[in-house]
């Protein structure tokens, strides 16, 4: 399938399912399509926002972003990513007990949005205590917006289940 241009996407505002085959195949595609269907069924539909990027808004704030074919330029060079789901967990304090009871704290601590590409203004990020653990290198631009984005890069079935749990908790807290 031919990749759609930025202009084509801007004009058509495609559903995420329409462009997933451009970046995913096999089991990865099945997982992503099932997840997109889950989001729609649970009133967290993805809407096109940028070239190969979709988001969902809840109570006036981003709940998540999904990007396809993202190219990360970090300290270790360029990393090609098939897809990434970024959660915006603005209300973790309201459901921190549930996070610990479900064993999700390690996912949050491991996959927060680390400052690697902001340049001198932000890098190397700041320290902040999240769920009782000091995290180092959190991007200032995200904290300035009062959120801690958590990235799931090329999520498998286990990661998708964790995402679903965290989305449900965040949505309920809002």
| pLDDT top residue among 137 and 66 | 66
End-to-end CA distance of the chain: 39
The pLDDT, as a whole number, for residue 94 is 93
The pLDDT, as a whole number, for residue 60 is 86
The arrangement of strands across the sheet holding 53-58 comes to 47-50, 53-58, 61-74, 77-88, 149-153
Contact 55, 147 (CB under 8 A): no
Name which of 70, 101, 91 is nearest 172 in CA terms: 91
User: Is residue 26 very low, low, confident or very high in pLDDT (cuts 50, 70, 90)?
Assistant: very high
Tell me what the mean pLDDT of segment 7-18 comes to. Answer: 88
pTM value surpassing 0.85? no
Per-residue three-class SS string for 53-100: EEEEEECCEEEEEEEEEEEEEECCEEEEEEEEEEEECCCHHHHHHHHH
Task: Please give the DSSP secondary-structure letter assigned to residue 114.
Answer: B
Tell me what the mean pLDDT of segment 1-11 comes to. Answer: 73
Task: Give tens-digit pLDDT for 86-124.
Answer: 898 888 889 999 999 999 999 888 876 666 655 556 667
pLDDT of residue 130 exceeding 80: yes
């Amino acid at each position: 399938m031919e990749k759609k241009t930025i202009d084509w996407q801007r004009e058509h505002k495609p559903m995420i399912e329409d462009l997933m085959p451009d970046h995913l195949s096999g089991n990865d595609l099945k997982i992503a399509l099932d997840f997109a269907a889950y989001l729609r069924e649970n009133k967290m539909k993805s809407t096109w926002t940028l070239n190969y990027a979709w988001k969902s808004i809840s109570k006036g704030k981003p709940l998540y972003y999904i990007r396809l074919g993202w190219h990360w330029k970090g300290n270790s060079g360029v990393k090609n990513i098939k897809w990434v789901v970024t959660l915006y967990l603005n209300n973790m304090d309201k459901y921190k007990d549930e996070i610990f009871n479900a064993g999700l704290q390690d996912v949050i601590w491991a996959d927060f949005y680390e400052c690697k590409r902001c340049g001198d203004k932000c890098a190397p990020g700041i320290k902040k205590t999240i769920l009782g653990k000091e995290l180092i290198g959190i991007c200032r631009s995200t904290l300035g917006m009062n959120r801690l984005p958590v990235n799931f890069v090329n999520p498998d079935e286990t990661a998708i289940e964790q995402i679903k749990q965290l989305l449900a908790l965040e949505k309920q807290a809002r």
